[in-house]
C-alpha cells in the first residue's frame, strides 16, 4: 500500500496517474495549500522541502520518497514497469524525464506565475516564459514525430511526467495546434483509463 500526499497540480497528478497505470493500491491524503499543510511539521518529516507530492511505502518499512521524478523512478523500479531494464532505453526515458523536470515544469510554472499570480503584469517576464515553454513544446513535437512515445515504442515515466504539464497548459490558455505530433500524443494518452482516473486525484469537494 502506498500513502500518497498530493494536490491537484501537474506534479501531483504524475503520481496518481502512475499508480493507476501500475494498479498499485494507494490511499490519498490531500494537502490543503490554503491551510499551508505542506509546511506543517508533520509533513516536513515526509518531505523536508515542503512541497507535493510525497509517498510513504507501507510495504517497504514506511519508506518515504519525495520529489515527483524520484517517486516515479522508485515506483518503476519497485514494479519493473514503465522504465526499461535495457541500459540505453532506460537512459533515454530518464533523459526525457529530466527534460520535463528541468525544463517544461519550471518554465511553464514561471509562465503560470507571471500570468496568474504576479501582483503586477510584467510583459517581459510573461513573454520570456511563454516563449520558452513553446520552444520546449517544439522539442517534444519533433521527438514525437519520430517516436510513438518519448522514450521509444512503449509508454514510460517520461510520458506521464510530461503529459500532466502539457495538459495543464489550458491554465494559461496556451494552445498546441502548431505542434500536431504533441497534440496527437496528448489526446492519445488522455484517453487511457489510468490517465483519466489519475487526473481526478485528489477528488474535488
52 burial via Cβ count (<10 Å: 0-12, 13-18, 19+): buried
Is pLDDT above 80 for 204? no
Cell numbers found for residue 142 = 519533433
Q: What is the CATH number of the domain that holds 102?
A: 1.20.1050.10
Q: Is residue 200 part of a domain?
A: no
C-alpha distances (whole Å) from 183 to each of 34, 71, 142 are 33, 26, 12
pTM, rounded to two decimals: 0.96
pLDDT digits (tens, 9 = 90+) for 112-145: 999 999 999 999 999 999 999 999 999 999 999 9
Q: pLDDT tens, 59-90?
A: 999 999 999 999 999 999 999 999 999 999 99
| Residue 186 and residue 167 in contact, taking contact as beta carbons nearer than 8 Å | yes
Asked whether residue 173 falls in the same domain as residue 147, the answer is yes
Same domain, 27 and 102: no
Q: What is the extent of the structural domain holding 35?
A: 2-81
Whether 202 maps to a domain, the answer reads no
13 and 51 in a single domain? The answer is: yes
Residue 190 binned pLDDT confidence (cut-offs 50, 70, 90)? very high
Residue at 204 is within a domain? no
Locate 66 and state its grid cell. 519525495
Q: How many domains does the chain have?
A: 2
Find the Cα–Cα–Cα–Cα dihedral 79, 85, 89, 93, rounded to 10°.
30
Q: Is the pLDDT of residue 174 over 70?
A: yes
Instruction: Render pLDDT for 12-31 as a digit per residue (tens, 0 to 9).
Output: 999 999 999 999 999 999 99
Taking the C-alpha atoms of residue 66 and residue 5, their distance in angstroms, rounded to an integer, is 10
Q: Please report whether residue 72 resides in a domain.
A: yes
Nearest to 131 by CA among 105, 102, 108: 108
pLDDT at 205 (0 to 100): 59
Are 118 and 173 members of one domain?
Answer: yes
Are residues 28 and 119 both part of a single domain?
no
* Residue 141: all three cell numbers together: 513535437
Biggest CA-to-CA distance, the chain: 50
Question: Does 126 lie in the same domain as 158?
Answer: yes
91 with 169, same domain: the answer is yes
Residue 203 lies in a domain: no
Could you tell me what percent of the chain has a pLDDT over 70?
100
For the chain, the average pLDDT equals 96
CATH number assigned to the domain comprising residue 21: 3.40.30.10
- The full DSSP string for 51-102 is -S-EEEEGGGTSEEEESHHHHHHHHHHHHT-SS-SSHHHHHHHHHHHHHIII
Domain match, 150 and 176 both: yes
44 and 109 in a single domain? The answer is no
What's the half-sphere exposure (Cβ side, CA atoms, 13 Å) at 121? 3
Amino acid at each position: 500500500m502506498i500513502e500518497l500526499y498530493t494536490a491537484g497540480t501537474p506534479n501531483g497528478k504524475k503520481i496518481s496517474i502512475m499508480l493507476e497505470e501500475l494498479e498499485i493500491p494507494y490511499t490519498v491524503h490531500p494537502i490543503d495549500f490554503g491551510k499551508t499543510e505542506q509546511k506543517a511539521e508533520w509533513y516536513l518529516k515526509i518531505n523536508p522541502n515542503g512541497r507535493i507530492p510525497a509517498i510513504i511505502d507501507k510495504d517497504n518499512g514506511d519508506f518515504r520518497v519525495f520529489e515527483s521524478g524520484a517517486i516515479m523512478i522508485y515506483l518503476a523500479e519497485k514494479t519493473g514497469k514503465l522504465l526499461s531494464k535495457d541500459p540505453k532505453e532506460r537512459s533515454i526515458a530518464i533523459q526525457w524525464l529530466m527534460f520535463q523536470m528541468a525544463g517544461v515544469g519550471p518554465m511553464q510554472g514561471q509562465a503560470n506565475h507571471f500570468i496568474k499570480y504576479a501582483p503586477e503584469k510584467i510583459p517581459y517576464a510573461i513573454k520570456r516564459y511563454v516563449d520558452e515553454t513553446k520552444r520546449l513544446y517544439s522539442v517534444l513535437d519533433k521527438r514525437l514525430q519520430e517516436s510513438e512515445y518519448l522514450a521509444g515504442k512503449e509508454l514510460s515515466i517520461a510520458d506521464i511526467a510530461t503529459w500532466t504539464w502539457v495538459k495543464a497548459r489550458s491554465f494559461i490558455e496556451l494552445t498546441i495546434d502548431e505542434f500536431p505530433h504533441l497534440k496527437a500524443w496528448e489526446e492519445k494518452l488522455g484517453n487511457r483509463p489510468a490517465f483519466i482516473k489519475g487526473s481526478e486525484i485528489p477528488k474535488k469537494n
